Amino acid sequence: MQSKKLGDNKAITIYDIAREAGVSPATVSRVLTNRAKVSSEKRDSVLRAIEKYNFRPNTFARGLAETKSKTIGLLVADVRNPYYASMFVACEMAARMEGYSVILYNFLGDVELEEELLGRLLEQRVDAIILLGGHVDELVSNTGYVEAVNNVMATTPVLITGKLDGTQCSAVRIDAMKSMELVLEHLFSLHHEKIAVVGGRMDVLSTYEKILKLKQCLKEKGIEFDPALIGENGGHYDFEAGYRQMNSLLEKGIRLTAVIAINDFAALGVIRSIHEHGLKIPDDISLVSYDNTYMAEAVEPKLTSVDYNYEEYGKTLVRTAIKLVEGMGDVQRVQMVEPRLVVRESSAMCRRREEI
């Protein structure tokens, strides 16, 4: 038996295995990659040597010798946000199914870091890059970033979940219009007409599209759009945003019977605010949100929320990325993910209706 002292630093290589197994390094490589025929005796003896020495092929060496790394880079805003965490895990699982692995970087809202990490991904020779959040969410694409991405695209396909004008990136994204439509259909069916939107910024594509759709649906319904009902003041996507904006709505005495929170975080803030004002959900105000993270099930009342089917979304993203890598031509420039509404406790028939 081979001694395995700690600090026995000389790493085992394919040559050691070859010697031990009495074959050539090339043969060891063949059994490792399984890409060529090897007689079963030799294969077995190689396998035994590998086992014996606890050998692991060096990814660096392999990466250098091969053209593809079988790795996808995922650049996200912040995995601590369960939306991104769900997307990441979904992608990781999908990737593993296809024999790929994924490298994850968080840029944490830092614009410089976002570009820097894009570069690091390139250095790591990932086969494709998926961009989630940040600049690709913006309504007006950042020119500097567009240039950076275009440079990347010269060597590595980039897949985005939003849009990036001035690039040839393929996109897989949630149908934001549709998601608003689902929410409104639901609320209309419950006879809500005074509907507020809380959280979100208009310079974010998905939010912009939602508001656009809101206006459109309202118009079709013959309901007048009241700008006071949507938070113009540069809202964000967290608890605080939901809380503060809802407070302001309530304190201004603006009439409303339903609230659409831009995500589950904001919804939590909305809940808090509503309760602090002595009102009840859904009795006094109905609440619907987006993302359907685990919080939607865990809070009181359980949230009616729009779900994106993360597993499917991740799969589509990864498979599309792989198509791009392997040049299997037929990739649509934009693919849409169908959202669906999960109805829970936070939305109910509008009571005020009877009063009117």
Partner DNA sequence: TTGAAAGCGCTAACAG
Partner DNA sequence: CTGTTAGCGCTTTCAA
> Residue 24: phi, psi to the nearest 5?
-90, 160
204 DSSP 8-state letter: B
User: Could you tell me which stretch among 21-29, 77-85, 227-235, 299-307 binds DNA (CB under 7 A)?
Assistant: 21-29
Distance of closest approach, residue 44 Cβ to DNA, in angstroms = 10
d(Cα 34, Cα 280) in Å, to the nearest integer? 63
Distance of closest approach, residue 34 Cβ to DNA, in angstroms = 9
d(Cα 342, Cα 179) in Å, to the nearest integer? 11
The amino acid occupying position 177 is: M
Near a copy of itself by CB under 8 A: residue from 13, 47, 98, 103 = 103
d(Cα 123, Cα 169) in Å, to the nearest integer? 20
User: Could you tell me which stretch among 136-144, 148-156, 173-181, 188-196 binds a copy of itself (CB under 8 A)?
Assistant: 148-156
Near a copy of itself by CB under 8 A: residue from 19, 42, 52, 120 = 120
Distance of closest approach, residue 55 Cβ to DNA, in angstroms = 7
Near a copy of itself by CB under 8 A: residue from 16, 20, 92, 181 = 92
Near a copy of itself by CB under 8 A: residue from 64, 97, 228, 334 = 64
154 sits near DNA (criterion: CB under 7 A): no
170-174 β-sheet, strand order: 101-106, 71-76, 128-132, 158-160, 170-174, 334-337
> How many other CB atoms are there within 10 angstroms of residue 98's CB atom?
14
- Tell me which residue of 159, 171, 175 sits closest to 126, measured CA to CA: 159
1 sits near a copy of itself (criterion: CB under 8 A): no
The footprint of a copy of itself on this chain (CB under 8 A) covers a number of residues equal to 57
125 sits near a copy of itself (criterion: CB under 8 A): yes
Q: Which residues of 177-186 are buried (b: 16+ CB within 10 A; e: fewer)?
A: bbbbbbbbeb
d(Cα 120, Cα 263) in Å, to the nearest integer? 31
d(Cα 282, Cα 177) in Å, to the nearest integer? 25
Residues near a copy of itself (CB under 8 A)? 4-6, 8-9, 11, 54, 56-64, 69, 78-80, 82, 85-86, 88-89, 92-93, 101, 103-106, 108, 119-120, 122-125, 151, 153-155, 168, 239, 265, 268-269, 271-272, 275, 294-295, 297-300
Residues near DNA (CB under 7 A)? 11, 13-15, 22-30, 32-33, 35-39, 41-43, 55, 57-58, 60-62, 64-66
